[in-house]
Chain A
Amino acid sequence: MSTSFEQGINTLKEVIDAPIASYFSSCTNCGLCARACIFYTETENPKYTPIRRVEPMRRIWEQEFTLVGKAKKALGLSKEVTEQDLKDCVELAFESCTTCGRCSMVCPVGNDIIYMIRRMREGLTSAGLAPKSLQEAAVRTLEKGSVMGFPMKTLEAMVKAAEKETGIDINIDKPDVDYLLLLSSAEVMQFNEIIASLAQIFKEAGVSWTFSSIAHEAGNPGMHMGASDIEAQMINRIVQAAEELNIKNVISPECGHAYMAIRWEGPNVIGRPYPFKVYHIIEVLDQLREQGRLKTSGSELDRITFHDPCQAARRGGVNQPQRNLLNMVSSNFIEMKDSQACNWCCGGGGGMNTIEKAEPLMQKVFNRKRNQIEELDVTTVVTMCATCRNTLEEGIENNNMNVEVLGLTELVANHLLKEKK
């Protein structure tokens, strides 16, 4: 896509809608959003106050969409947004924000601040200011269908290994099955035990499913960048796969932002409703549990807790299924303080984990999660997002903590009751 400062400004004008105008009209600069943001609480640096991250957009709104602002502009009483203003905003919108949305939970006037920050990113990307690492990830995904650049043959190798391990045949491009399964790059590369886990769970539950060779990953750097055209291309690939294979249910992987992209943003960026339903993998497992098709045996006796991924829980509305599953396989599940919609972010999402210069800040803000975990005195932290899992594992290692991190699907698979047939 072509980019320029002017295009950035135009994009910012285009994305300002009625909700954003009502948010800017209502903000009283009370600063409460700062107290909900890990980048503020762990650094106490006022520059990380969430509402400050969209200041250029606020000025554009005031000057272009309010009578008072237009008058002030005509009288030379307000400053127009400059290229430097946008450059300064990159650090705030990309390099110190995971778009976790906790700020939106506390705003007294109800502003969805993260909705604005996401739109701010769109403007910055149009201005050619998106972080290079995100741009590279987008190119990889467009070219190879994988955020980390793994071609389909990498997944095929993983599938073969899982087939060998489990003795279960795994479909690729099989039409008319119940589910199309999407993965995240991290699952293909690091947490690929999930393939065997799901193969076993689905076999026991009598679920038919397949991978697609044209859309095997749901990760969407286009969403992180705020490049809706790139985001749409990635979504369209999945839609094409589901339509060609005549599949009515698509499974989003254990990845919060992938879920946000495919479940909630997808139809809006491609401009039409899906002819299929989208579920987070944990929603699917919980449905199978409810139907009596997912049976487990034994129970974890150690103290375990759960980290709610921001985009699946707080922003995506998946809060109960994970708890149902955890209580099925654990007799010692302990909630974190401020769990579910108000959970504290791990610090790695929203594309931040791809930005090298953000690494020291990421490590610093992990302090909040470390304290949350330590006060519970648990042996295991379970989550349902590969990015959270990576961030938790790194944070735990950096802080010399004696805690294991597990994906929820894997934990459920560990307890799967296999019926002899």
Chain B
Amino acid sequence: MNEIELLNWARGPGLAYATIIMVFGLTLRVFEILSLGRAEELAEVRGTGVSDGWKMILKRSLPEPRHWKLITASYIFHVGLLVVIFFFIPHTQLFRDVFGIFWSGWPNYVIDFFTVLSIAAMMYTLVSRFVDPTRRILSKMSDYFAWVVTFLPLVTGYMAFHRLGIDYTTMLAVHILSVELLMISLPVSKLTHAITFTMARYYTGSTNGRRGIQS
């Protein structure tokens, strides 16, 4: 297989397989959670909790000023990652081709800025897992694996765009393959949190809402 064939496989069947695995896997994960059920609340509630659940999903996305030193890097990389995924012009074209939905991408220099920022922020989060005793004792192989598969698409995308390292075609293929690795890792790793955080926040927010708790 030469680099053109590799790129074509990555763009074609590879992407299709990765998408199927990701969608099927994440659906299974959500089902695994939902199938465990949640006991009915029998105490007299102060509210239904439904709107509080939704509010919690949004509210916990806001930065927590009390712990800004600890969360800034994670916050930057999450925002940066979303910007790069959804606003890099070639990505928007891919979404248009696949889903038929189009929105305007952002200029390359903006995307470049967010990419570098995200890479730096991710490096910081990795270092902090080694240096901070609390994070070190908590961190498991699964955390480092999640870091690696998230980091690779950022770096390979940056290298492909700037024609760094190996030839462009191969680098682009590697970039797409790294994205596919990220996609198939989503349901089987810590990265599942990208979906299940909404459920976690909803459950907590709705319980709080029923009890009239500030959340």
Q: Which residues of A are in contact with B by a Cβ distance under 8 Å? A: 16-23, 25-32, 34-35, 40, 46-47, 49, 51-52, 65-68, 104-112, 115, 263-268, 271-274, 277-278, 314-317, 319, 340-341
Most buried by A among B138, B211, B215: B138
B36, A17: Cβ atoms closer than 8 Å? yes
Q: Which residues of B are in contact with A by a Cβ distance under 8 Å? A: 28-29, 32-39, 41-44, 46, 56-57, 60, 64, 66-67, 70-71, 74, 132-140, 143, 146, 188, 190, 192-193, 196-197, 199-205, 207-208, 211-215
Of all chain A residues, the one with the shortest Cβ separation from B40 is: A268
A317, B213: Cβ atoms closer than 8 Å? yes
CB distance from A384 to the nearest CB of B (A): 16
10 nearest interchain CB pairs? A110-B201, A317-B212, A267-B42, A341-B214, A19-B203, A22-B199, A25-B196, A29-B138, A109-B197, A26-B200
Chain B residues near A272 (CB, 8 Å)? 42
Chain A residues near B202 (CB, 8 Å)? 110
A18, B135: Cβ atoms closer than 8 Å? no
B193, A49: Cβ atoms closer than 8 Å? no
Bound Cα distance from A29 to B190, whole angstroms: 9
CB distance from A261 to the nearest CB of B (A): 11
Instruction: State the total of A-B contacts with C-beta under 8 angstroms.
Output: 162
CB distance from A40 to the nearest CB of B (A): 7
A21, B36: Cβ atoms closer than 8 Å? yes
Known contacts: A17-B38, A31-B132, A49-B137. The answer to whether A341 contacts B215 by CB under 8 A is: yes
Extra inter-chain contacts (5) besides given A26-B193, A32-B64, A274-B44, CB under 8 Å:
A19-B38, A31-B138, A49-B137, A52-B137, A341-B213
Chain B residues near A105 (CB, 8 Å)? 215
The SS class assigned to the B binding surface is helix
A25, B192: Cβ atoms closer than 8 Å? yes
A109, B60: Cβ atoms closer than 8 Å? yes
Chain B residues near A278 (CB, 8 Å)? 44
A109, B193: Cβ atoms closer than 8 Å? yes
Bound Cα distance from A19 to B36, whole angstroms: 9
Bound Cα distance from A112 to B203, whole angstroms: 9
Specify which of A17, A22, A65, A340 is in contact with B200 (CB 8 Å cutoff): A22
CB distance from B84 to the nearest CB of A (A): 20
A108, B71: Cβ atoms closer than 8 Å? yes
Known contacts: A65-B32, A110-B200, A267-B43. The answer to whether A316 contacts B211 by CB under 8 A is: yes
Of all chain B residues, the one with the shortest Cβ separation from A265 is: B43
Specify which of A16, A22, A46 is in contact with B137 (CB 8 Å cutoff): A46
B135, A31: Cβ atoms closer than 8 Å? yes
Most buried by A among B136, B143, B204, B214: B204
A106, B56: Cβ atoms closer than 8 Å? no
